[in-house]
Amino acid sequence: MNPEFQKQILNPIKFRLFMLSRLPAAFFAGLRVKELSGHKAVVSVRYKWFTQNPFRSMYFAVQSMAAEMSTGLLASGHIYKRNPAISMLVVGIEAKFFKKATDVVSFTCNDGEAILQQIEEAVVTGEPRTIKCRSEGTDIAGDVVSEFFITWSFKARTK
C-alpha cells in the first residue's frame, strides 16, 4: 500500500474533507476509517437518525456503503499514483443480513494481498482482472450483523 495514501486516509480531517467533496453520502452517514494497512481495512458506521430505516435499524444501503469502502480503500491504496495507471470499478455486490444493526457496525476486509495480486496480474497481462472481496460487519458485541461480497474489476490503462 502506498504510504502517502495511507497517511492521507488515516488523517481524520483530510479524510472527512475528501468525503465531503467526493462522497457526500458517506460524509453525512458518518463513515470512519478505523484501520488501514496493505492487507486489512476496517470502516465503521454508527446507527443514528440519518442511517436508520423504518424498522429501527441501520439502512442496508448505509451498510453497503461502509462494506464497499472497506474493500475499496485496500484497492485504492494499491493503485494510488501507480504507473501504469489502473482503473477500478465495482462490477458486482452480494449481501447477507443476520441481525439488526442498532449500534456501531465495523466492516472488516482482509483481502488486501489478494487485491494486490489481481492488480499485478492486470498490469502484467494487460487484461482486466476481477476479485470478489469479503467484508464482514460486526457490532460492538462482536456479533456478525451482515456480510458483503464486493466484486472489483481492475484494468491497466493504456496510453
Domain count of the chain?
A: 1
Tell me what the mean pLDDT of segment 60-75 comes to: 97
pLDDT tier at 159, thresholds 50, 70, 90: low
The total of other beta-carbon atoms located within 10 Å of residue 80's CB is 16
Residue 44, all three cell numbers: 465503521
Q: Report how far apart, in Å, the C-alpha atoms of 153 and of each of 119, 130, 136, 142, 143 are.
A: 9, 4, 20, 31, 30
Q: Half-sphere exposure (CA, 13 Å, Cβ side) for 82?
A: 24
The answer to whether residue 94 scores a pLDDT higher than 90 is: yes
Tell me what the mean pLDDT of segment 136-144 comes to: 97
Task: Return the higher-pLDDT residue of 88 and 83.
Answer: 88
pLDDT digits (tens, 9 = 90+) for 28-43: 999 999 999 999 999 9
Residue 5, all three cell numbers: 495514501
Q: Which amino acid is at 83?
A: N
> What span, in angstroms and rounded, lies between the C-alpha atoms of 151 and 22?
21
Range of the domain at 125: 3-156
The domain that holds 148 is classified in CATH as: 3.10.129.10
Per-residue pLDDT, 158: 77
The answer to whether residue 73 scores a pLDDT higher than 70 is: yes
